[in-house]
Amino acid sequence: MARDNPQLIAGGNISPSRFVKWDLSGGGDFTVIQATDNTKIAGISMEGTREAPIPSVSTAYAAQSGESFKVYGDGEICLLELGGTVVAGDDLSSDANGKGTAITGGTSTQEIGATALEGGASGELILVQVRLRSEGQTAVSS
C-alpha cells in the first residue's frame, strides 16, 4: 500500500527549498535538519515560509526547531535553491547551506538528492526531481 510522505519535525531552523538530512545527533524519530556539504539527504524542504511575510514580524524559515513541516521525498518534483550554476540533467548534492550544487567527479562517494529539470545559477529556485542515492566509492584499505 502506497503511503504519503510524513510530516517531519525540524531539529533546527530550516530555510525553504533546501536539502534536509536526518538528525542523527539525538533529535528523535522523524526529525531532520538542514543538510550540509555532501551529506546523505532525506529530502527537500517545502517552498513556503512558516508565516505570512510581514516585515519585522515573520521569519524566512520553512520551519523552526520542533515544528512539523512538509518535506518532498524520492520521486517528487519541487523547487530547490541553488548554490552554484547547474544545467538540466545535472545530479545535485548539498552545499554547506543545503543549497543544490552539481556533483563533482572523483572516487569519493557523492550523496545525490535530486536531478535538475532545468538550468539555473546560484540563488535561483529551479524545478528538480528528488532522487535520493549515493554514487561512487570510498577508498578501501588493504
* Pick from 58, 57, 76: nearest CA to 17: 76
Quick: pLDDT tens for 3-50. Answer: 566 679 999 999 999 999 999 887 678 899 999 998 999 999 999 887
* 18, part of any domain: yes
Residue 57's pLDDT is what? 64
| CATH code for the domain in which residue 28 is found | 2.40.300
- Number of domains composing the chain: 1
* 3, part of any domain: no
* 140, part of any domain: no
Domain holding 70, by residue range, is 8-134
Q: What is the pTM of this model?
A: 0.87
* 66, part of any domain: yes
Quick: pLDDT tens for 76-119. Answer: 999 999 999 999 999 999 999 999 999 977 668 899 999 999 99
Distance CA 129, CA 110 (A): 17
